[in-house]
Structure formats: structure tokens, C-alpha cells
Amino acid sequence: MNYTFHQLKVFMAVVEKKSITKASIELNMTQPAVSIQLKNLQDQFDIPLTEVIGRQLYVTEFGHELYHIAEKILQEVAAINYKTQSFKGMLSGRLKISVASTGKYVMPYYLKDFLKVNQGIDLLMDVTNKTKVVESLANNEVDFALVSVLPEKLDIEQEILLPNKLVLTASKNYEFDKNGLLNKAVFDELPLIYREEGSGTRTVMQEYFQQAHIVPKVRFELTSSEAVKQAVMAGLGFSIQSILSLKNELKEGEIQIIRVEGLPLIENWRLIWLKQKKLSIVAREFLKYIQLHKDNIFSENFAWTAHF
């Protein structure tokens, strides 16, 4: 047997993504390079690890067994590296964070300097919708989650980072009275673009409409904040979006904000963790860093949001 750690890592990515194409993106490799590494690993075994039926890749039972073994092997190798670094006096280990999709415009700024100082830390950050973020936290798969809507059934601790201001957006070509405040009745006519079920932004939008006794005209749903933003810019409809995701588009005049009664909606971005979880040394140090520096991070990177 001459398989390598790199081959195991590539194989794990293929299993997790169920796709060579998606694994290549995850690993920043070309598709042929991933295929070669997968073949080289497969050549070590007489039993198939994967199979392709139609155009879909499936992992065999043996492949799943190897995945779990490989996971343990790579965790032990990582532990050796972390232990070596700790003996050198370096903070080392793995930090796992699950981030609600619009939080991708937030979390990097709270990680940047911490990771710069502590280069022995490996970051695993999953960006997904609110439902999956809460699931990963509930299953104790991550150290922290970044959300704007608190989960109802989990016993958690939280650290508020910054306001999440949600505004009604339109393409640059939409004409309206920019000096006035529109009545909520405007939603009777505007075709709205919604995020998918499970999105925190969608939850807040629906609560707003319910409280205002509005039945909005939903034109269609999209599965990412970027897709919604592009659709609004293209003039396909209107949407309530986080101001944090719009910095460049507002600066370039590609999107405009419509002032409406009851808007903006303001939630908070919160770093949350399970109350009973025993945080690792890395997680505890990150939390201390956040508590000490969060105000400065906001002032340096997000103070511009106060102007809208």
C-alpha cells in the first residue's frame, strides 16, 4: 500500500461533495488532477471506492468505510502538527465556524487579524443557510455559528457583533420619489424576490409582512444572497437585503435603496455557541479576541452602514 495523505484528503473531498467537479473547486485543484489522485488511490484496492451510474457519482460501502478511517488518520496527523506547534509556544488547532450565508460579508473581518497572529490555526468555515447552520451547531459539529436570527430550541451563549440592517432594494433604473417615505402599500405592487426556505433574511421578511398584514407578490425564490443581488440589479424584481452585502453596489450606483414605512428592519449578527460545550483552547482564545476587539472591527469596517 502506497497511498498518500494527499490522496486520502482528495478522496474525502470527493465523498463529501459527491462530485469530482465540486471537490476540485473545494481543493483548488483541476478536475483532471482530482481524477488522477482518485485513480491512484483506487489502484491500491481491489474493491471499488466509487461508482458512476448515469452521470452521478456514488460512494460504495467500502468507500464509506475508507472515508471514516481516512478521517481518523488525517485528524491524528493534524494533532501531531498542532502538538508540535504548541511545544513551540504557538496557539494551534482547528477552529470550526458555520456562517449564515449573508454572514460571509461579516465573518472574515472578525477572523483576519486573529488568524494573522495565530498562523498555527486551521480554519474550517462553512457558509450555508440558517437552517443548516443551526443543525451543525445542534449536532456539535462546530465551535461557533454566526446568525442574525437566534435558534428557538437551543440552549446557547451569544456575543453580539454588529447590527444587521435590512433594506428594500431596487435596480438603478427604478424611478421613485427619493426624498419621500413610501407607504407599506407599495408592496401590493412590487414583484419581490425571496430567499429560499431556511434563510434568516426570508424569516425576517415574512415576519415583517405578517405584522403589517401584507400579502406580498413573490415573483420567485433564489438560493443565495449573491443571486438575489444580481437579479435585483438586472431589474427582475425587488428584495429586502442586508445592507452589509451591498457596499460595492451602492458605491457604484448599481442598486438603490427604497425608503418604506417600517424599514429598515434591524437584527443583530451574533456569534453563538452551545452553553454546555467545552470550548477548545483555540475557541476560547478566539472568543476572548472577539470580545476585546469587536468594537474596533466594527468601527474600521462597518461604520459606513450608519449612513443608510
| Residue among 224, 263, 260 at smallest CA distance from 243 | 263
For the chain, where do the domains classified as CATH 3.40.190.10 start and end?
89-162+268-307, 164-267
- If the chain, 308 residues long, is cut into consecutive pieces of 10 residues, what is the mean pLDDT of each piece? 85 89 89 91 91 88 91 76 60 88 94 91 90 93 94 94 95 85 87 88 88 87 90 94 94 93 92 94 93 97 92
Which residues lie below 8 Å from residue 262, measured CB to CB, with a gap of 6+? 184, 208, 212
The confidence score (pLDDT) of residue 196 equals 87
| CATH number given to 89-162+268-307 | 3.40.190.10
The count of other CB atoms within 10 Å of the CB of residue 24 is: 20
At the top level of CATH, the class of 164-267 is alpha beta
The confidence score (pLDDT) of residue 236 equals 94
For the chain, where do the domains classified as CATH 1.10.10.10 start and end?
5-83
| CATH number given to 5-83 | 1.10.10.10
The confidence score (pLDDT) of residue 305 equals 94
Say what the pTM is.
0.72
Contact 133, 100 (CB under 8 A): yes
Using a 10 angstrom Cβ sphere, with 0-12 exposed, 13-18 middle and 19 or more buried, the burial of residue 32 is exposed
